[in-house]
């Protein structure tokens, strides 16, 4: 009878193709993923580094502005104190000039310092626009003519420099400052002379042919600080004035190291520039006036581009109330931008803008990315070639074996195949060659195979058993965590719901107390004024027991107030304990967590009909704030204290109440700092202790000495894992049978310490 051959599959593929294609696809996927992750990590590194540099630069600018702009207000306060004490006489202009000259000489950043009187008289000192020559100023009352004098080495007038019309009380913002009566800043102004104006040895201003400024001016930008002083009748006595140079701000910004091509500029809310790290000036000439550039028309193209981007995104600069981060493309390069508002309490409201180009960081990253891509392509090519060679090596003996099998199927039983270097294929070839003569050996090999399979089954069964144990432990951990998380959420919700009405009641009890006192005083006043009440009133007084009401009502209100205060303290502790599900590490007060845990367990610590209260002895040391996971640490404290309470209750379960009272239960909690780097929490009870054999297993999963249904055996195991793995600390148990048990927790104050160790 002729055996029918099975039908061939419609789609058949060569073995070589099946071996090569999946291998190459896997390598290609791995190479592509590595390349993509490398590129993404490079981009993230650029963004992180840029943000760090920008934050640091912005912080340095803020600190410099805080320090730099504090001087004028401080000088005004010093001079106001001098006027009040009589050391500065407003009626002695010459002495005032020398007084202010000494201050102007001491502070190079001050362009002018002095005072003005309500009649227009002015006296002061300062520096010439070149920043070198010291001047004294005088403005006589009535005519409004101000005069600048070159000062000698002692602050005396040497020669008249110039005279001009001026009113010290008319500049923008001064009138508002006088009305408010508080120290404040007036409007920023620009003062300039042509470069060709210089001071001769004789003290005259003449024109020369040399210049140092690109815009043809010697100039400075200053912000005026004004301090009004009033007499006892509230009339203006004088106006103290200090003008601070802002041109030094640009020098500071130029010296600030942000990045090789980074820039910083500061502007007002109307867009006018105050200073920048650019080499371009912040002022320009408009006809015969010197004005500051707006950031929108700055000669520096980067500043102009950034300002236009800010205006486009935020409509106007006044809407920028918080730090903003954005990006803009400039010269085909991405720029990282951070805008930070800067304010002081005297009215200044500026914007600090820091911009850093991406190219300052990407050169090395791009080179590394190119190298990674080339290495990935090389690995892909090598893997493809190796796959082709391997497939040929494998398929050649298989093809010969297939041909020999077909020959045997046709009756050619003398077929043999060559052995190969591939172990598996060589075994197949030998089995094929000796198939007929070694049939019995095949049965033996089959038995041996069965034995091996049984061994494998046993090994697999053991692995599954271990896996089941691990799953049970994980399930118990999850259940315990969910319980504690639910407890935290429940406590937080209850605390929140109780807090609002309790605060309402607590706030109103005071008023009720006051109203009750007023009513009782009114009743007493009525009794004094009308000592003979009507029969109806007298009957009502007897019915109410008015005398008892007078004594008891205020006591009742006082007890209500104490009760609401106690509830508020309980709510505060509940809210502290409710941090169980917080995932972030933070600095917390360890004592606060201990107290919140004790509050939660207060119902188990207080006295009961069958036993007195369990005393809690607190021996707290002075601890700093500790960096930890507060919710998880509260869980550890809860587990240890609960175990201590359980142990104390079980120890004296058969004792009488008097025996328990004579030998009271107590839990001692002590805290301390070890080597200034570790915090230790020790929780001890005075129970019967734990035997040594149980101490060795107390932190094992599922180990418990409690009856079935009263414990999972995971509490101490989870606590040990939280302390040692999560916090890098230690959890140890010390117990002597008959003397009690002590659990000691040690965790680092800062988690960097545990990471380093």
- Please report how the helices 15-68 and 247-255 are oriented relative to each other, as an axis angle in degrees rounded to 10: 150
Rounded to 5°, the CA angle 94-99-102 comes to: 125
Parse the chain into domains and list their residue ranges. 13-53+254-391, 69-245, 414-581, 606-757
Cβ atoms of 227 and 77 closer than 8 Å: yes
Residue ranges in 220-286 assigned as alpha helix (H): 247-255
Distance of alpha carbon 319 from alpha carbon 297, whole angstroms = 20
- Summarised one tens digit per residue, pLDDT across range 131-141 is 566 777 777 77
606-757 shares the fold of 13-53+254-391: no
pLDDT in tens, 656-680: 888 888 888 999 999 999 999 999 9
Q: What is the pLDDT of residue 446?
A: 66
Beta strands 666-674 and 615-619, pairing class:
parallel
d(CA 146, CA 140): 7
**Taking Cα atoms as reference points, which of 175, 216, 179, 174 lies closest to residue 195?**
216
Query: For residue 745, what is the enclosing H or E element?
Result: strand 740-748
CA distance 125 to 110: 10
What is the spatial distance between Cα 425 and Cα 400, in angstroms, rounded to a whole number? 11
Tell me which H or E stretch contains 158: strand 157-165
**CATH architecture assignment, domain 13-53+254-391:** 2-Layer Sandwich (3.30)
Give me the torsion for CA of 716, 717, 722, 724, rounded to 10°.
Answer: 110
Give residue 458's pLDDT: 83
Distance of CA 598 to the CA centre of its chain: 30
In degrees rounded to 5, what are phi and psi of residue 314? Answer: -115, 10
What integer pLDDT is reported at residue 569 of this predicted model? Answer: 61
Architecture, CATH, for domain 69-245? 2-Layer Sandwich (3.30)
DSSP assignment of 68-131 equals: HTHHHHHHHHHHHHHHHHTSS-TT-HHHHHHHHHHHHHH-TTEEEEEEE-TTS-EEEEEE-TTS
Q: Which residues contact 642 (CB under 8 A, 6 or more apart)?
A: 601, 604, 715
Residue ranges for the chain with pLDDT beneath 50: 1-4, 195-216, 436, 439-440, 443, 580-581, 708-709, 756-757
Question: What are the CA-CA distances from residue 391 to residues 19, 190, 387, 679 (Å)?
Answer: 6, 83, 6, 63
Q: Which pLDDT tens digit goes with each residue over 325-379?
A: 888 888 888 888 889 999 999 989 999 999 988 777 666 666 667 777 777 777 7
Given CATH 3.30.565.10, say whether it is the number of domain 606-757: yes
What is the rounded CA–CA span in Å between residue 15 and residue 7? 19
């Amino acid at each position: 009878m002729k055996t029918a051959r099975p039908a061939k599959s419609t789609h058949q593929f060569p073995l070589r193709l099946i071996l090569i294609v999946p291998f190459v696809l896997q390598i290609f996927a791995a190479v592509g993923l590595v390349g993509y992750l490398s590129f993404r990590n490079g981009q993230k590194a650029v963004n992180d580094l840029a943000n760090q540099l920008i934050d640091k630069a912005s912080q340095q600018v803020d600190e410099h502005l805080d320090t730099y702009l504090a001087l004028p207000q401080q000088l005004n306060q010093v001079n106001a104190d001098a006027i009040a004490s009589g050391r500065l006489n407003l009626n002695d202009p010459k002495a005032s000039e020398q007084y202010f000259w000494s201050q102007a000489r001491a502070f190079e950043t001050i362009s002018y310092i002095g005072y003005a009187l309500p009649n227009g008289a002015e006296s002061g000192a300062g520096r010439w626009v070149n920043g070198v020559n010291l001047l004294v100023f005088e403005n006589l009352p009535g005519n409004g003519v101000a005069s600048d004098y070159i000062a000698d080495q002692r602050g005396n007038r040497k020669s008249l420099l110039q005279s001009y019309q001026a009113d010290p009380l008319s500049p923008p913002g001064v009138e508002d400052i006088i009305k408010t009566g508080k120290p404040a800043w007036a409007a920023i102004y620009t003062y300039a002379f042509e470069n060709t104006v210089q001071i001769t040895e004789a003290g005259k201003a003449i024109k020369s042919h040399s210049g140092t400024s690109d815009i043809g001016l010697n100039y400075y930008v200053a912000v005026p600080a004004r301090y009004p002083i009033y007499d006892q009748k509230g009339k203006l006595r004088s106006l103290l004035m200090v003008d601070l140079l802002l041109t030094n701000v640009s020098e500071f910004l130029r010296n600030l190291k942000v990045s090789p091509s980074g820039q910083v500029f500061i502007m007002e809310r109307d867009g006018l520039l105050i200073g920048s790290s650019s080499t371009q000036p912040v002022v320009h000439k408009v006809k015969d006036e010197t004005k500051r550039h707006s950031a929108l028309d700055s000669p520096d193209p980067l500043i102009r581009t950034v300002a236009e981007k800010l205006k486009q995104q935020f409509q106007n600069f006044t809407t920028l109330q918080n730090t903003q981060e954005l990006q803009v493309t400039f010269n085909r390069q991405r720029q990282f931008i951070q805008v930070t508002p800067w304010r002081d309490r005297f009215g200044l409201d500026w914007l600090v803008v820091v911009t850093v180009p991406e190219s300052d960081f990407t050169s090395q990253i791009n080179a590394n990315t190119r190298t990674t891509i080339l290495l990935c392509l090389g690995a892909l090519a090598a893997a493809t070639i190796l796959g082709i060679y391997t497939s040929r090596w494998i398929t050649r003996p298989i093809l010969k074996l297939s041909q020999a099998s077909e020959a045997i199927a046709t009756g050619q039983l003398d077929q043999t195949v060559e052995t190969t270097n591939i172990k598996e294929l060589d075994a197949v070839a030998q089995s094929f060659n000796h198939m007929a003569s070694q049939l019995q050996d095949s049965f033996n090999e089959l038995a041996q195979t069965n034995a091996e399979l049984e061994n494998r089954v046993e090994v697999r069964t053991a692995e599954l058993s271990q896996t089941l144990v691990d799953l049970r432990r994980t399930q118990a951990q999850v259940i315990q965590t969910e319980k504690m998380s639910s407890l935290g959420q429940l406590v937080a919700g209850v605390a929140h719901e109780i807090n609002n009405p309790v605060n309402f009641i607590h706030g109103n009890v005071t008023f009720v107390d006051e109203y009750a006192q007023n009513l009782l005083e009114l009743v007493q006043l009525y009794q004094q004024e009308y000592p003979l009440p009507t029969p109806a009133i007298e009957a009502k007084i007897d019915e109410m027991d008015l005398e008892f009401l007078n004594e008891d009502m205020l006591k009742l209100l006082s007890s209500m107030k104490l009760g609401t205060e106690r509830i508020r303290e309980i709510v505060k502790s509940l809210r502290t304990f409710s941090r169980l599900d917080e995932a972030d590490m933070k600095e917390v007060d360890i004592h606060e967590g201990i107290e919140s845990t004790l509050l939660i367990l207060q119902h188990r610590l207080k006295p009961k009909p069958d036993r007195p209260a369990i005393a809690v002895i607190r021996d707290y040391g002075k601890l700093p704030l500790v960096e930890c996971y507060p919710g998880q640490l509260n869980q550890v404290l809860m587990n240890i204290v609960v175990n201590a309470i359980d142990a104390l209750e079980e120890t004296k379960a058969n004792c009488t109440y008097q025996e328990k009272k004579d030998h009271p239960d107590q839990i001692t909690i002590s805290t301390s700092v070890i080597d200034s780097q570790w915090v230790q929490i020790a929780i001890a009870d005075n129970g019967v202790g734990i035997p040594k054999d149980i101490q060795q297993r107390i932190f094992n999963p599922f180990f418990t000495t409690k009856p079935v249904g009263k414990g999972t055996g995971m509490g101490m195991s989870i606590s040990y894992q939280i302390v040692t793995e999560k916090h890098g600390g230690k959890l140890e148990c010390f117990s002597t049978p008959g003397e009690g048990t002590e659990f000691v927790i040690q965790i680092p104050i800062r988690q960097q310490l545990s990471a380093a160790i």
